[in-house]
Amino acid sequence: MPHADASLVPDSIKTKSEFWTHVHDQLEILMGGQRHWVSNLSNAASLIYNSLQAFPSHFGDGERSVNWCGFYLISSLFPQPRFTDASMDPQSQTRASTNMLLGPFSGRPACQWIEVSPRPRGVCGDAFVKRSTVLVPDVLTYPGHIACDGDTKSEIVCPLVLRKGGEDIVVGVLDLDCLAIGGFDADDQVGLERIAALIIRSCDW
C-alpha cells in the first residue's frame, strides 16, 4: 500500500472511537519499528491531520473541521548546532531550559516556542505542567490561550509523558485545533491519549 493511503478512512468506520483505533493502528504500521522521533512525529502529524480531513462529518460542524495538528517538544530534544557557536548565545541557553519548541506539524504556520517555566503559557504550557489533557471547547474563554491562528475556535492538547525510573517526564505535547466551537470531546481525548502512549513507547527520547 502506498504510504499516503494510510490516511484514507474506510467507509466501514462509523464512530469516533473506531476512527481513532484506525489511526492508531495505521500509525503503528507507518512507524514500522523506526525509533527516531523526528520521522515518527512527522508522519504522526500528517496522518492524524489528513485522516481528520477524510472524516470531517464527525469533527467540528462539518463545514469547519480540524485546521492544525502538531507537536511542541522540550528544546533539549532538538539537535544541537555542530558548525556554529550558538552555545555562546545567552538567550539560547535560557530558552533551552524553559521552553518547548515547535516540532513536526500539519496546517498553517504556528508559534515557534512556548514557555513552560517559570510561567507556563497557553493551553500547551498548561497541559505540559499538569501532565494531563486539556480540552478547550471555546478558546476565547480560556485565559492565556495563544492564538496562533485567529480562525481557531476550539482545541485539545495531550501531553507526551515518558515513564522513566519511577518518574514521569513530559517530553512535549500533541496539539489539535478546530475551526468550530466544541470541536473535540471525550472520545477524542481517549483516542489521542492512546496515540500519545504509542508515540512515547515507539521512539527513543
Q: Report the side by side order of strands in the sheet with 66-74.
A: 113-115, 99-107, 66-74, 167-178, 154-164, 134-136
Which residue, 123 or 199, is less far from ligand SME as judged by CB? Answer: 123
Closest distance of CB 126 from ligand SME, Å = 8
Q: C-alpha angle 164/119/137, rounded to 5°?
A: 85
Rounded to whole angstroms, how far apart are CA atoms 97 and 75? 7
Closest distance of CB 136 from ligand SME, Å = 8
Closest distance of CB 123 from ligand SME, Å = 4
Which residue, 27 or 124, is less far from ligand SME as judged by CB? Answer: 124
Amino acid at 93: Q
Q: Which residue has the cell 474506510?
A: 10
Residue nearest to ligand SME (CB): 122
Which residue, 13 or 160, is less far from ligand SME as judged by CB? Answer: 160
Return the SS3 of 121.
coil
Closest distance of CB 175 from ligand SME, Å = 5
Closest distance of CB 129 from ligand SME, Å = 12
Which residue, 8 or 110, is less far from ligand SME as judged by CB? Answer: 110
Long-range contacts of 133-142 (CB under 8 A, 24+ apart): 133/157, 133/158, 133/159, 133/189, 133/192, 133/193, 135/184, 135/185, 135/186, 135/188, 135/189, 137/181, 137/182, 137/183, 137/184, 138/181, 138/182
The binding site for ligand SME (CB under 6 A) comprises: 68, 110-111, 114, 122-124, 145-146, 148, 155, 175, 177
Closest distance of CB 79 from ligand SME, Å = 22
Which residue, 31 or 69, is less far from ligand SME as judged by CB? Answer: 69
Rounded to whole angstroms, how far apart are CA atoms 24 and 188? 12
Which residue, 66 or 161, is less far from ligand SME as judged by CB? Answer: 66
